[in-house]
Structure 1
């Protein structure tokens, strides 16, 4: 089979053709006339059902979004001939139901995600497995063996590099805020100590909320300590950048992007759960930093609101290097493959240049500059993901890190502790608005790419999203 110009269809076209044929047949079979009592089919292969469920479970546990997991599972259902398949993916549960037809009852399997470990390297390998299976390049036994290899595969970095990457987020943020080498070094140590504290608590079964609170308290204590030393010895250090950098390292960029992505795609249950997770993490950070800041003010540590650390809209070389460093360090902490790091660093610089340029040249509010930069990163990130056949979240989540509202949260907490509750509340609300603007912006960029470019990682074409056809999409 070839196209109008006589060329054989590409792998993407073959995958899209299989998905279109399956969806047309699927929709026809779900009508009352589609269920023919005499249409007896062999029972679905239990191994295929198990494979689809295990792939979906591992993708969701490794940090992939709900819509991408659903599309991947549907693609595998088509590849391994599971008839009349329905997939349901929520924040913690994955369900697959397939109906053989005739008098045969439906067969339903379910798996529950009890443990999450963000690993975008594993997400990328799973997407490759799904694409190869969708193109008919993997038989069922080969796909099962490949899944086991992916499950047992080691991350591209040893554990100590992941820890260092987490510390470098805070260190790079300190550089962006004008902290200098001493502040950057202390910020790095504070982030590492906070992370090790949360790991210590996690191994003893302490809830994640209190892990995050403890990590924020450790970092804030070190920052306040250096601030006190600097004021007593008149060192002139921007010690507040330590706290700001650690807030940025702890902020939930991944669940924020995923929650808005799920909501826009119609997965409202998962979107609500992820958004609630985001606000719980924010609550933990606010509780930890706020308690230390309140204690510091009561003990007489001088915190001047006029000199709180902020990069403003500067585009000096240290600030741009800090933006690239934050994005790359964030990517390392999420186990993004090394070959993607230079691109992510450039995207981090790009979002900052757009934000700072609009703020300094056009004098627009920070939220407007944030949305504009996020949309640009969303377009470029989704285009790169489709062009390189990789998942999109490894491009998006680290790239928005330079604009995470760490300084706004810190300012709001200090204003609260100094008795200006109204100003503090406004700063916290602005921080939440900036965070939501980041998530919405990168997803809008993805929708623009989807609208004008067909194809996708798991065979999802621009007309194949079920939620888009609930109302006007069918006309």
Structure 2
């Protein structure tokens, strides 16, 4: 690594790492982050730049001239989750820099301030309230009664606070998930004993559903499509490890609690999200999307958009599966495609990337329940383990591929519209997606499906 660089180059590298940290830590894919960082380099007049994102590390290399030594710097980045508050502010700052509204020093300062504010944000009660609402939504989707829904809210709130505390003390992810699963079971069992009800499984699943496998599948799929196989493999490993920790904690708690509660409360039962009441299904989906959006930092217009998209996803699914009797997987794929396209159309209006919108909107349809039940069936000999896990795998595939297809079709349509607009305005020029004022600033939130390994995109 060469440390002999000019002060101006040092500022650019600082901006690249601040921007990369903000995007990756808030849930952006490797492909979209790479494209954004290359856009910053192009705006700064840097050519011959290479950006490499691996699991936990960002590397930027720059060769000022053909006969000079390359300058390379690396930056370690911890894994992240969807954080709407941080992500929207980071994207807005980057866009202002690309549009020329901010100088490089101002953009750097803004990104650093957002990083510090995000680290010490005191609005933790919004996150906790969001997870409580999300727990209520999943309980309604799983046909839980009023008492069970109340229990799901309480358990979700406690588990959210537990995860927050474990994160602050730096506990490893797998142990945090195991502790969350363990406490969720004991809290649900205690609540059921106090209220003399027997829907503990719904209460547990409702509190843990958003933390089960599936919610990061879009980034995995998109990284795979765009050739970032190492990043995709790393995300998959993170999903597997965290889910294993969660299931281990739940299984250990069930085994420990069973002798004390007897057979009156069944902690391991098969539940489903099938319901004949459309109102409650749509209400549950709206609460799930809204709760997760609130927990992730979504406010005002973004929160409203997430609630509407989550409700629409459930409406489309019910119409296809029940009114038109389309088979489950085809209905899920179709819903994913429709919602993926709508998220691309809405992304600019709410200043939030389509991936983030789609992740939240399709959360009620994710197969975390099937993964949960499949794994516990293996431990306790309940039901058909292989069937549950295979259903979860196929559902994840249908949702992810459907959503990605919808994004791709709409984004390509928007590119063609933009091309026609450009050619009418500049008939003597050739449209290029890499033109800063035509792509990188205005459409930085569009999903990326090309392979941005270098600064040169295929020309139209």
Residue number among 227, 232, 235 corresponding to 1:271 in the alignment = 232
Residue number among 267, 270, 294 corresponding to 1:332 in the alignment = 294
SS in 1 for 2:73: strand
SS in 2 for 1:178: coil
Q: Is the 8 A contact 2:337 2:403 kept in 1?
A: yes
Aligned equivalent of 2:450 = 465
Aligned equivalent of 1:169 = 134
Residue number among 48, 54, 68 corresponding to 1:104 in the alignment = 68
Query: Which stretch shifts more, 194-203 or 273-282?
Result: 194-203
Q: Does 1:62 align with 2:47?
A: no
Residue number among 245, 259, 263 corresponding to 2:206 in the alignment = 245
Report the Cα offset of residue 464 of structure 1.
8.7
Q: TM-score when scaled to structure 1? A: 0.80
| In structure 2, distance between residues paired with 1:467 and 1:82 | 16
SS in 2 for 1:83: coil
Alignment of structure 1 residues 3-402 onto 2, 5 Å: 45-114=9-78, 116=80, 118-153=82-117, 158-227=123-192, 235=197, 238-294=199-255, 299-301=262-264, 303=266, 308-402=270-364
Report the Cα offset of residue 451 of structure 1.
2.1
Report the Cα offset of residue 54 of structure 1.
1.9
Q: Does 1:438 align with 2:385?
A: no
Unaligned runs of 5+ in 2: 1-5, 419-438
| In structure 2, distance between residues paired with 1:439 and 1:157 | 34
Q: Is the 8 A contact 2:32 2:447 kept in 1?
A: no
| In structure 2, distance between residues paired with 1:463 and 1:163 | 33
| In structure 1, distance between residues paired with 2:45 and 2:140 | 54
Q: Is the 8 A contact 2:152 2:206 kept in 1?
A: yes
Report the Cα offset of residue 338 of structure 1.
2.6
Report the Cα offset of residue 187 of structure 1.
0.7
| In structure 2, distance between residues paired with 1:410 and 1:317 | 26
CA RMSD across the alignment: 3.1
Report the Cα offset of residue 245 of structure 1.
0.7
Q: Is the 8 A contact 2:185 2:253 kept in 1?
A: yes
Change (3 A) 1:147 1:420: closer
Q: TM-score when scaled to structure 2? A: 0.82
| In structure 2, distance between residues paired with 1:172 and 1:53 | 38
Deviation readout 1:54-89 (Å, 9 max, x if unpaired): 211222122221112111111111111112222112
Q: Rg bigger for which structure?
A: 1
Q: Is the 8 A contact 2:59 2:73 kept in 1?
A: yes
Deviation readout 1:305-329 (Å, 9 max, x if unpaired): 9x84433154522221111010010
Change (3 A) 1:339 1:86: same
Q: Which has the higher contact order (CA 8 A, sep 6+)?
A: 2
Aligned equivalent of 1:25 = none
Q: Is the 8 A contact 1:66 1:91 kept in 2?
A: no
